[in-house]
Amino acid sequence: MLQTAGFAKSMFWPRPGLRFIVVDDEPEIRHMLCEYLGRDEVTVDCCANAAELDAALDAGPADLIVLDVLIPGEDGISIARRLRAAGSVPIIMLTALDDVVDRLVGLEIGADDYLTKPFDLRELAARVRAVLRRATPAPPVPSPSSASPGEHVGFGRVWLDLQNRCLADGSGARIAITATEFALLELFARNPNTVLSRSRLLDLDDGAGERCIDIRIARLRKKTEVDPAKPRVIRTVRNAGYIYVPPRNLA
């Protein structure tokens, strides 16, 4: 059961004219989500399965997909995997409260976010807005050389812009990053050469447990390290956690 009481009449989406697709095989939940999300001149397509989703995407691109894991036929994990292989449409996955494996797999295949059922619709709206903000193309940010000291922190082949809350490459082009991933990098940046335990890192993420942190670190290494298989910036400290070693201290 979704919690609906007390939400505002306008959720103030980033811009009008957006198109969302909701995929859930439970009619009551599907229509509730579509009605709730379809505000502020947003179009929402309701789909019960993969075939209906594919037909909706054939009709035109989506700005965001809300995708339930447990649907008949092709399940949400399989759908998300092929959607991610084909493009970068933002995906928020819906999972049952005890489906830890599904949540971990969703993170591994690149889902932008996930929510566990039951959830408050206001939280879904907040997650949608956050994902849309991250997915909106932005102009290049200033290079590190033109920034004030402490605003930019090097992470391997990229750098973290603390003021603009983004990750960028050497040319200033932004690299897609989730809010939780940014929070992890920010925590590392503010605690250089300090071992951070998994339990401390978990404070930033209400996910499925320590394995979730390991997966997020693996994804961050792919975005930051010159060689993710041999991490030199975000290092593992056996039986302790992880440590951020600033580039100037690399051996």
CATH architecture of 19-135: 3-Layer(aba) Sandwich (3.40)
Residues 11, 175, 205, 116: is their CA dihedral positive or negative?
positive
68-82, 100-114, 139-153, 228-242: which has the minimum mean pLDDT?
Answer: 139-153
**Per-residue pLDDT, 229:** 92
Q: What is the CATH number of domain 144-245?
A: 1.10.10.10
**Per-residue pLDDT, 8:** 45
The alpha helices in 60-209, defined as continuous H runs, are: 76-86, 100-108, 121-135, 179-189, 198-202
**Per-residue pLDDT, 140:** 47
pLDDT classification of 205: cutoffs 50, 70, 90? low
What does the pLDDT look like over 41-75, one tens digit per residue? 899 999 999 999 999 999 999 999 999 999 999 99
CB 77 within 8 A of CB 105: yes
**Per-residue pLDDT, 201:** 87
What number is the average pLDDT over the span 7-19? 69
For the whole model, what pTM was predicted? Answer: 0.64
**75 has which bridge partners?**
none
Q: Domain map of the chain by residue range?
A: 19-135, 144-245
Single-letter amino acid code for the residue at 31: H
**Closest alpha carbon to 217 in 190, 193, 244, 238:** 244
pLDDT classification of 5: cutoffs 50, 70, 90? very low
Q: Is the pLDDT of residue 108 over 60?
A: yes
**Per-residue pLDDT, 130:** 81
**Per-residue pLDDT, 10:** 47
- Give me 5's structure tokens: 């009481």
Residue matched to tokens 């975000």? 234
What does the pLDDT look like over 135-160, one tens digit per residue? 665 444 444 444 444 578 999 899 99
Name which residue leads in pLDDT, 75 or 199.
75
**Closest alpha carbon to 129 in 220, 6, 10:** 10
